[in-house]
């Protein structure tokens, strides 16, 4: 199976981002991709809650979701929309950071709401308070598809090994980690975290990323780390998107999952233990 990770630099204008992704999807499908993936917050990268309140919609009215479902159907491809910021059902006033797996018929096969919130002061001048704007999810999601079983995560989730292990135990062979990783943490943390999740679960890791300086109309400037990565179940980086927008292709062979897990059967070696007291 050929996968294509779309590395983009989303603006805070959902209509513009939708058009960008549609054009890249056509290119990827033309190159034979059967599974196309987009990064976290594909529809809108913003640092302004008021702008998000003005442009983000409930899932049922979201034009990015509708447009990308139609595009997936038209091209006959599987699509992971890494995430969309969408309005939650009342009384929750915060958004959901929600990933969608779309079938080649344009149907929603699965949804996943990001569980771990990036509430972190990364440097003296750079602070993120994701949980002020987004309500965390509380349900892990693994979906069986003809491409393999997909375990869905988002960005900061990559730091929580137990989630990925739970997904692998539930049958996941492909872990998706769409991201908008910070430039402060990316250089030291992004690749080793992704490789660790692949190695310790013997899974493919597909991590489409936002990149560069985002064009935003209000609020503080935002930059993201880029480097969309494909990591094999043995932990090798087989493709790296660099720092510019573009498409990263990789051949995903599930036999490598079986091979890695047969060689190092850690998923069968979990133990129960007491303590620490
Ligand atoms: O707010 C949005 O627009 C969408 N969400 C994000 O960009 C999120 C929360 S600010 N970013 C991360 O999780 C980066 C994690 C990271 O960089 C790390 O773990 O080091």
Residue 92, pLDDT score: 97
Closest C-alpha residue for ligand 1 atom 6: 180
Residue in 38, 40, 135, 196 to alter for ligand 1 test, most ligand atoms within 8 A of Cβ:
40
Q: Where are the beta strands (DSSP E) in 189-243?
A: 204-207, 211-213, 223-225, 229-231, 237-240
Q: Which residues contact 160 (CB under 8 A, 6 or more apart)?
A: 115, 116
Q: What secondary structure does DSSP assign to 96-128, as a single string?
A: EEEEEEE-TTS-EEEEEE--S--EEE-SSS-EE
Give this prediction's pTM: 0.98
pLDDT of the residue at 7: 99
Q: How far is CA 138 from CA 52, 170, 180, in A?
A: 23, 16, 21
Closest residue CA from atom 4 of ligand 1: 41
Q: Answer whether 92's CB lies under 8 Å from 135's CB.
A: yes
Average pLDDT over residues 153-162: 98
Give the chain's mean pLDDT: 98
Could you tell which of 12, 182, 214, 215 is best to mutate to test the pocket of ligand 1, judged by most ligand atoms within 8 Å of the CB?
182
For tokens 């969408």, name the residue: 86
Burial of 52 (0-12, 13-18, 19+ CB in 10 A): buried
For residue 143, what pLDDT is reported?
98
In the reported structure, the alpha carbon of residue 118 is separated from the centroid of ligand 1 by a whole-number distance in angstroms of 6
Which pLDDT belongs to residue 180?
A: 98
CA of 228 to the centre of ligand 1 (A): 15
* ipTM value greater than 0.90: yes
Mean pLDDT of 226-254: 98
Give the Cα separation of 5 and 9 in Å (integer).
13
Please identify which of the residues 44, 71, 87, 114 carries the catalytic annotation: 114
How does residue 177 score in pLDDT terms, banded at 50, 70 and 90?
Answer: very high
Q: What number is the average pLDDT over the span 83-93?
A: 97
Give the pLDDT confidence score for residue 36 in this predicted structure: 99
Report pLDDT for 84.
98
Contact 200, 165 (CB under 8 A): yes
Q: Could you read off the pLDDT of 20-65 as tens digits, one per residue?
A: 999 999 999 999 999 999 999 999 999 999 999 999 999 999 999 9
Please tell me which residue in 44, 71, 87, 155 is annotated as part of the active site: 155
Average pLDDT over residues 134-144: 98
Which atom of ligand 1 sits closest to the CA of residue 154? Answer: 13
- pLDDT for position 186: 98
């Amino acid at each position: 199976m050929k996968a294509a990770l779309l590395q983009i630099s989303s603006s805070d204008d959902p209509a513009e981002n939708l058009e960008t992704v549609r054009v890249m999807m056509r290119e990827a499908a033309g190159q034979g991709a059967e599974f196309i993936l987009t990064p976290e917050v594909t529809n809108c990268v913003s640092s302004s809650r008021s702008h998000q309140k003005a442009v983000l919609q409930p899932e049922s009215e979201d034009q990015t979701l509708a447009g990308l479902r139609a595009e997936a159907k038209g091209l006959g491809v599987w699509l992971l929309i890494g995430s969309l910021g969408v309005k939650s059902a009342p009384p929750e006033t915060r958004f959901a950071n929600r990933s969608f797996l779309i079938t080649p018929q344009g149907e929603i096969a699965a949804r996943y709401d990001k569980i771990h919130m990036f509430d972190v002061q990364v440097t003296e001048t750079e602070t993120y308070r994701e949980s002020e704007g987004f309500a965390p999810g509380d349900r892990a999601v693994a979906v069986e598809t003809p491409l393999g079983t997909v375990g869905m995560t988002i960005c900061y989730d990559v730091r929580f090994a137990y989630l990925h292990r739970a997904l692998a135990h539930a049958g996941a062979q492909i872990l998706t980690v769409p991201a908008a990783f910070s430039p402060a943490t990316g250089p030291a943390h992004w690749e080793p975290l992704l490789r660790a999740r692949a190695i310790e679960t013997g899974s493919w890791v597909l991590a489409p990323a936002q990149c560069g300086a985002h064009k935003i109309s209000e609020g503080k400037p935002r930059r993201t780390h880029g480097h969309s990565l494909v990591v094999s179940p043995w932990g090798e980086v087989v493709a790296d998107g660099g720092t510019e927008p573009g498409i990263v292709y990789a051949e995903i062979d599930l036999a490598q999952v079986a091979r890695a897990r047969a060689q190092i059967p850690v998923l069968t070696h979990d133990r129960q233990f007491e303590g620490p007291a």
